[in-house]
Amino acid sequence: MNAGGTGDGRSFRWTPIDRDRLRVEQADGPTSARPEADLAVEQAWAAIRQSNPRSFNGPILAFESFDPEGPTIRVRRDEYRRYAVQPGVPTGVVLLGVSAVLTTRDPAGRPLVLLGRRNASTRVYRGMWELGPSGGVAPPPGDRPADVAYLRGALLEEIREEIGGVVAEAVRLDAAPVGLLHDPAASSVDVVFRARLPGPPAIKPPTPASWEYDELRWLPADEPGALDRLGPVAPPTRTLWAAIFGA
């Protein structure tokens, strides 16, 4: 299902998935690139590091493909820098990420959903509001498989860092994968987990350690126009909002 776009022909896409049957398969890492391509990556990465010292290289899981019949997500190991240098250096790396849609109800029973305003130092959608938290996924250590449980754990770690342990514990008990969010503008595919929390939990204020968000806010999910009144909204969030909340 297509639901939204970048305005330049690149469509964001939402793919619902069967939460009980989803599988993840991990393949070998990337094949060796040409020396000139490696040099282009190194030079572009050095420029990124100079402009944003927060950037650091490390192993990531890259999205390869999705088979809806499985349903199966196929991933492989790669490097963050080979992802980050795009689109200037077209490496073809598509980041596998995880995103949360966290909902609860206020004392009157009104549905609420959590959004965060992205920090100006983030790679994409700076200063925009998004459903989350979200983040890339590192490969599992040792022989551990990159399965759904591992992806859920990666999301919980993002939540602990950005929101706090109280929320993470509540999410751990309820989070289930509901779909894939394809973002061609960011060259990423996120596995979206939805969790319904038992009442609006306390959210820790942003700190230097949790730098990705400048502000967090519970927003009425059933209020017409509430999303537009926030300010700039990341385009993938508009696609996800329409898929989850139907407006």
pLDDT of 8 higher than 50:
no
pLDDT digits (tens, 9 = 90+) for 43-61: 999 999 998 888 889 999 9
pLDDT of residue 1: 38
pLDDT of residue 171: 74
**Distance (Å, whole) CA 191 – CA 98:** 5
Element of type H or E holding 207: none
pLDDT of 7 higher than 50:
no
CA-to-CA dists, residue 113 to 104, 122, 142, 176, 223, angstroms: 7, 22, 36, 16, 11
pTM equals 0.86
pLDDT of residue 206: 54
pLDDT of 87 higher than 70:
yes
pLDDT of residue 3: 43
pLDDT of residue 202: 60
What percent of the chain has a predicted confidence (pLDDT) above 90? 49
131 and 237 in contact (C-beta within 8 Å)? yes
128 and 232 in contact (C-beta within 8 Å)? yes
pLDDT digits (tens, 9 = 90+) for 134-181: 999 999 988 888 999 999 999 999 888 888 766 777 677 678 999 999
Judged by average pLDDT, the poorest of 85-99, 116-130, 148-162 is 116-130
pLDDT digits (tens, 9 = 90+) for 187-223: 999 999 998 887 766 665 555 445 678 888 889 998 8
215: phi then psi, degrees, rounded to nearest 5: -155, 145
pLDDT of residue 15: 95
State the pLDDT confidence band at 70, using cuts at 50, 70 and 90.
confident
Calculate mean pLDDT across residues 117-135.
Answer: 85
Which residues have C-beta within 8 Å of that of residue 103, sequence separation ≥ 6?
111, 112, 113, 114, 194, 195, 196, 197, 221
Query: Domains in the chain, ordered, with CATH?
Result: 2-245 (3.90.79.10)
pLDDT of residue 34: 66
